[in-house]
Amino acid sequence: MAKAPVPDREPTESVEDSVPRGVRVAAAWSWRLLLIGAVIAVVIYLIVQLQLIVVPVLVAVLLSALLVPLVELLTRRRWPRWLAIVVALVVVLVVVGGLVVLVVLQIRSEAHALQVRGMQAFSDFNAWLQAPPLQLTGSQIEGWLDQAFKALEQDSQVLVSGALSLGSTLGHVLTGALLTAFSTLFILIDGKGIWSWIVRIFPRRARAAADGAGHAGWTTLTSFARVQVLVASIDALGIGLVAFFLGLPLVIPIAVLVFLGSFIPIVGAVITGALAVVVALVYNGWVAAVIMLAGVLAVQQIEGHVLQPLIMGSAVKVHPLAVVLVVAAGSMLAGIPGALFAVPFAAVLNVMVKYVSSGAWRPDAAVAYTGPPDALWQTVPRPRRWRDRRAADAAATTHEAGEKDAGGQAPDHH
């Protein structure tokens, strides 16, 4: 007797198949982004905790970016490398020491006169507040001054904390200065060896990309450092000349503060410009303060609309909104050092990511990289063995057979 046909069973749907594709893609992106965010958070935490070491090293990198072109120029003129390095370091010491001496001497000579002028200006302002039409009482003025000082202390805790954390004791300051000096010296002497060691940390397949990205990032950093020094010098010269023609005291300290403040975009220019206006108000009255304010605004407008687009824009391609955001984030995370290094860090990271994503490091890349030219890299030339092995590294498989054979050539995988 024939058996009745068994009806076909409906295939059971797996849990993975029951989840829509959009949800699976979103979940895959989510855990990867969470992992990347966790790694970034750990790195930032370590940098903040080790800022007594990280900040001097970063300062040394910036100094090296300024000094390397001079060292390479002297070396190309057949100077011994050790002599070129010594000359570059001496130039830095002379310039910094000369500025410090000028600032100290002018502050000492003008301190008493500025104190007398300040007390007189405060008395005049207090009398103006108590006179008609305001007619404020002394207790009201003292209460408002106390509130203003308390608010100023609270608002400045973010920036002051960064400065205090780096230089709260003389030992921290000396340690940072010595570490900066030694780091700068070793980068100038053995930059090639340091870069070789860093690239060897990466897997073999990633060395070509890391090497090219480092070249592009260093070129951007050197361009940023030189252009920033030029822009800061122009700002200091312009505001210093306005203060000089107004007959203000402390012209050199004001110019030096403007020069240093220009390295912190937006925040530094505002603070140093406000200080110059306050000095003009205290010393020469409100007319001089208005003129000083007009001069500061004119210099900043020239910087923002002429110098930054024409000079800085060609060296650092970072949107102004990104500059504001990275400066704010850097100041919140690490105070003044964070605000100082935020823009160069963002610029270097931007060009390195663009280089890697463009695929220009591949030997058969059809995409042309439009970033900084690789030939401008002068500090750390590529080791020859990486250049000779880039094609083999890019074409290597997951097996160890992709390494060089005994003859020094990559094996044929076809």
Structural domain containing residue 220: 46-145+165-381
User: Domain total for the chain?
Assistant: 1
Pairwise CA distance, residues 302 & 317, whole Å: 19
Residue type at 264 in one-letter notation: I
For residue 233, being part of any structural domain is answered with yes
Reported as a pLDDT band with limits 50, 70 and 90, residue 381 is: very low
Predicted confidence at residue 33, as pLDDT, reads: 93
Reported as a pLDDT band with limits 50, 70 and 90, residue 66 is: confident
Q: Render the burial of 214-243: b for 16+ CB within 10 Å, e for the rest.
A: bbbbbbbbbbbbebbeebbebbbebbbebb
For residue 316, being part of any structural domain is answered with yes
Looking at the chain, the whole-number percentage of residues with pLDDT higher than 90 is 4
Reported as a pLDDT band with limits 50, 70 and 90, residue 29 is: very high
For residue 390, being part of any structural domain is answered with no
The answer to whether 288 and 281 are in contact (CB under 8 A) is yes
For residue 17, being part of any structural domain is answered with no
Residue type at 404 in one-letter notation: K
Predicted confidence at residue 267, as pLDDT, reads: 67
Predicted confidence at residue 303, as pLDDT, reads: 72
State pTM to two decimals.
0.66
Q: Is 37 exposed, middle or buried (0-12, 13-18, 19+ CB in 10 A)?
A: exposed
At 314, list the tokens.
């060609």
Q: Render the burial of 268-292: b for 16+ CB within 10 Å, e for the rest.
A: bbeebbebbbebbbbbbeeebbebb
The answer to whether 217 and 352 are in contact (CB under 8 A) is yes
Looking at the chain, the whole-number percentage of residues with pLDDT higher than 70 is 72
Per-residue pLDDT tens digits for 5-16: 555 555 555 666
Per-residue pLDDT tens digits for 96-117: 888 888 888 877 877 777 777 7
- Helix, strand, coil percentages (3-state) for the chain, rounded to 5, are 80, 0, 20
Pairwise CA distance, residues 192 & 381, whole Å: 6
* CB hemisphere CA count around 43 (13 angstroms): 6
Q: Render the burial of 170-207: b for 16+ CB within 10 Å, e for the rest.
A: eeeeeebeebbbebbeebbeebeeebbeebeeeeeeeb
Range name among 47-51, 126-130, 355-359, 377-381 with the lowest pLDDT average: 377-381
pLDDT of residue 273 exceeding 50, the answer is yes
DSSP state of 206: G
Q: Is 6 exposed, middle or buried (0-12, 13-18, 19+ CB in 10 A)?
A: exposed
Pairwise CA distance, residues 270 & 268, whole Å: 5
Per-residue pLDDT tens digits for 387-405: 444 444 444 433 344 444 4
Report cis status (omega within 30 of 0) of the bond before 133: yes
Mean local confidence (pLDDT), 309-327? 68
Predicted confidence at residue 32, as pLDDT, reads: 92
Give φ, ψ of 147 to 5 degrees: -65, -40
For residue 181, being part of any structural domain is answered with yes
Range name among 29-38, 145-154, 231-240, 297-306 with the lowest pLDDT average: 145-154
The answer to whether 360 and 212 are in contact (CB under 8 A) is yes
> Cβ contacts of residue 136 below 8 Å, gap of 6+?
129, 130
Pairwise CA distance, residues 291 & 283, whole Å: 13
DSSP state of 375: G
Average pLDDT over all residues of the chain = 75
Cα pseudo-dihedral 281, 287, 288, 291, rounded to 10? 120
Predicted confidence at residue 310, as pLDDT, reads: 64
For residue 399, being part of any structural domain is answered with no
pLDDT of residue 249 exceeding 60, the answer is yes
pLDDT of residue 362 exceeding 50, the answer is yes
Per-residue pLDDT tens digits for 115-145: 777 777 777 777 777 777 766 776 776 777 7
pLDDT of residue 232 exceeding 90, the answer is no
For residue 19, being part of any structural domain is answered with no
CA distances from 276 to 104, 241, 259, 399 (A): 17, 12, 13, 66
Pairwise CA distance, residues 284 & 273, whole Å: 16
Reported as a pLDDT band with limits 50, 70 and 90, residue 375 is: very low
Mean local confidence (pLDDT), 162-189? 74
CA 218, 258, 327 angle in degrees (round to 5)?
Answer: 50
The answer to whether 299 and 276 are in contact (CB under 8 A) is no
Predicted confidence at residue 4, as pLDDT, reads: 55
For residue 400, being part of any structural domain is answered with no
